[in-house]
Amino acid sequence: MFWGYLVYYTTLLHLGLKRNYSYRSRNVQKKLVNSVRDAGKNVPFYRDLYKKAGIDIQKFSGTKDLKKLPLVTKDDIKSAFPDRITREGTNPNSCIHSATTGSTGKSLPIVYSRSTYALYLAANLRIYTMIGYKPWYKTSYIKYSPLEKYNLGPFFRFDHVPSVTSIEKQIGLLRQNKPDFLDGYPSIILEIAQKATPEDLKYIRPRMIMLNSEMSTCDQKDFIARVFNCPVYDEYSTEETWMVASQCKHKNYHLFTDNVFVEFLDKQGNDVGPGEPGELYLTTLRSPVMPFIRYKIGDIGRYNYDNCSCGCQFPIMESFDGRADDSFILPDGKLVSPLKILNTFNMYIQKHLHLLEEFKVIQKKHDHVVIKLVKGSEFSQEAFGEVLDSLYGLLGDSVHINVEYLNYIHNPGSIKRKAIESHLHN
């Protein structure tokens, strides 16, 4: 049964690349109405939520009614798990179980039906084939845990490289696996690119690389591409909803509106304009067992109305600016996205290649920032002074910056590595 679902959804999703999936298309509106009505009728949490708000959910008619629905947070979902947030009549033993990794400090259990899980796997295959992946390519993926394996002989061969092992062991496994396709965390693949020797690169020669799960800059992607001499792409997904957006061969992020409906909202819950930063709220369209409706994912992004010359009809997300709770809040209330801070560092890392080994920037108070720093082999105070000058230009003179020099940077309690972190949102 599982393979039947997987083949069916793989075919369906690939055909969908040429269909109209703009936000107001009939395809998207129909899925949105069905998902919201089903959740409001059959999931106790949403049924009670909408009843309390005085909403007749069976009259929900699409985008124009979406703003009437309350916004939902991770704490809301977690407090309702499992009985009140899963569809009535669900047999937990017949479902696929997962959880968020807890990089925000709050892990969330998640349940998918087998058909939804098959669709999510098919969505992964779709983003791979969008950039030229072939089913006979050998893949190495860098994650904290191995995926469930479904053997298809010479096709879809996946080798797991643990994200928590040493960089030396990771390079050794990649030399052994000789992957055609490399998939994993940007920070780890960047470190592999920095540490790999010319001898290592005789064995590690991927045809393409896909980055995910963490924020990465254009400079980082360009560096990885130069080292491995192959194109590097980025995708944006969550454990709650799986595939949200991914880059095509033209490096545009396409929003997969056949899987999840994405809203870009300001602090007052209003839609932002094209090119403006907005906090992302997600509504699943294919997960009836444990739906997420207007769910605050905690990330910041921008969208636009451009069309892509790749021919894909999915709308475009202009950029992903990082986590909302990692944005720095300045004394005057202004927000600075973590991507801007990260880009400031990367600008000088490109200029002075061995200036820094590792860094982490933490906002302790509105006017107090700490930089944890591991010096590189060619560190100099003069060169690092350029970094500090640019940071003061970005954050303002009212912010005091302290620098702590360390031998290594420890990241307890988190699988993902966060170079930019704000404590003001805790």
Tell me how many degrees the CA angle 362-364-369 measures, rounded to the nearest 5. 55
Q: How far apart are CA 348 and CA 384, in angstroms?
A: 8
Do residue 383 and residue 368 come from a single domain?
A: yes
Do residue 138 and residue 102 come from a single domain?
A: no
Q: How large is the C-alpha radius of gyration of the chain? A: 22
User: What percent of the chain clears pLDDT 90, i.e. is strictly above it?
Assistant: 40
Do residue 113 and residue 44 come from a single domain?
A: yes
Do residue 219 and residue 158 come from a single domain?
A: yes
Mean pLDDT, the chain, whole residue set: 85
121 burial class (0-12, 13-18, 19+ CB within 10 angstroms)? buried
Tell me what pLDDT residue 109 has.
87
Identify the top-confidence range among 116-125, 167-176, 297-306, 323-332. 167-176
Range of the structural domain that residue 375 is part of = 328-422
Is residue 163 in a domain? yes
Tell me what pLDDT residue 45 has.
97
Domain boundary among 284, 302, 326: 326
Pairing of strands 157-162, 138-143: parallel
Tell me what pLDDT residue 5 has.
45
Q: Are 29 and 65 in contact (CB under 8 A)?
A: no
Q: Tokens 């930089």 appear where?
A: 371
Domain boundary among 310, 326, 342: 326
Q: How far apart are CA 260 and CA 32, in angstroms?
A: 9
Do residue 212 and residue 361 come from a single domain?
A: no
Is residue 71 in a domain? yes
The dihedrals phi and psi of 217, each to the nearest 5 degrees, come to -100, 165
Do residue 225 and residue 243 come from a single domain?
A: no
pLDDT over 80 at 371, yes or no: yes
Tell me what pLDDT residue 292 has.
97
pLDDT over 90 at 140, yes or no: yes
Report the phi/psi class of residue 414: left, alpha or beta, with left for phi > 0 and alpha for psi in -120 to 50.
Answer: beta
Tell me what pLDDT residue 224 has.
94
Ordered strands of the 208-211 beta sheet: 157-162, 138-143, 181-184, 208-211, 232-238, 242-247, 253-255, 316-323, 295-304, 278-284, 260-265
The lowest-confidence range among 2-16, 85-99, 323-337, 360-374 is 2-16
Domain count, the chain: 3
CATH of the domain at 355: 3.30.300.30
Is residue 126 in a domain? no
Tell me what pLDDT residue 149 has.
59
The lowest-confidence range among 84-88, 128-132, 157-161, 420-424 is 420-424
Pick the more confident residue, 126 or 370.
370
Q: What is the DSSP string of 338-391?
A: HHHHHHHHHHHHHHSTTSEEEEEEEEEETTEEEEEEEE-TT--HHHHHHHHHHH
The lowest-confidence range among 62-66, 135-139, 343-347 is 343-347
- Residue 319, SS3 per DSSP: strand
Confidence of residue 2 (pLDDT cuts 50, 70, 90): very low
Q: What is the DSSP string of 54-103?
A: T--GGG--SHHHHTTSPPB-HHHHHHHTTTTTSPTT--GGGSEEEE---T
Tell me what pLDDT residue 186 has.
85
Is residue 124 in a domain? no
Do residue 83 and residue 189 come from a single domain?
A: no
Stretch 353-372: mean pLDDT: 86
pLDDT over 80 at 150, yes or no: no
Residue environment code for 149-163, b if the CB has 16+ CB neighbours within 10 A, otherwise e:
eeeeeeebbbebbeb
Token code pair at residue 40:
């409001």
Pick the more confident residue, 334 or 390.
390
pLDDT over 60 at 151, yes or no: no
Is residue 19 in a domain? yes
Do residue 84 and residue 7 come from a single domain?
A: yes
Do residue 164 and residue 291 come from a single domain?
A: no
Stretch 177-185: mean pLDDT: 93
Is residue 125 in a domain? no
Domain boundary among 271, 297, 326: 326
Ranges of H-type helices in 67-208: 74-80, 114-130, 167-177, 186-195
Pairing of strands 368-375, 356-365: antiparallel
Do residue 159 and residue 301 come from a single domain?
A: no
Q: What is the DSSP letter of 326?
A: G
Confidence of residue 144 (pLDDT cuts 50, 70, 90): confident
Do residue 375 and residue 246 come from a single domain?
A: no
Of the candidates 289, 220, 212, 282, the one whose C-alpha atom is nearest the C-alpha of residue 253 is 212
Tell me what pLDDT residue 8 has.
45
Is residue 127 in a domain? no
Do residue 145 and residue 212 come from a single domain?
A: yes
Tell me what pLDDT residue 342 has.
76
Q: How far apart are CA 146 and CA 124, in angstroms?
A: 15
Stretch 241-246: mean pLDDT: 90
Stretch 207-229: mean pLDDT: 88
Tell me what pLDDT residue 413 has.
47
Is residue 27 in a domain? yes
CATH of the domain at 84: 3.40.50.12780
Tell me what pLDDT residue 369 has.
92
Stretch 37-57: mean pLDDT: 96
pLDDT over 60 at 373, yes or no: yes
Q: What is the pLDDT of residues 10-41, one digit of tens each?
A: 554 554 555 666 777 888 899 999 999 999 99
Stretch 252-272: mean pLDDT: 91
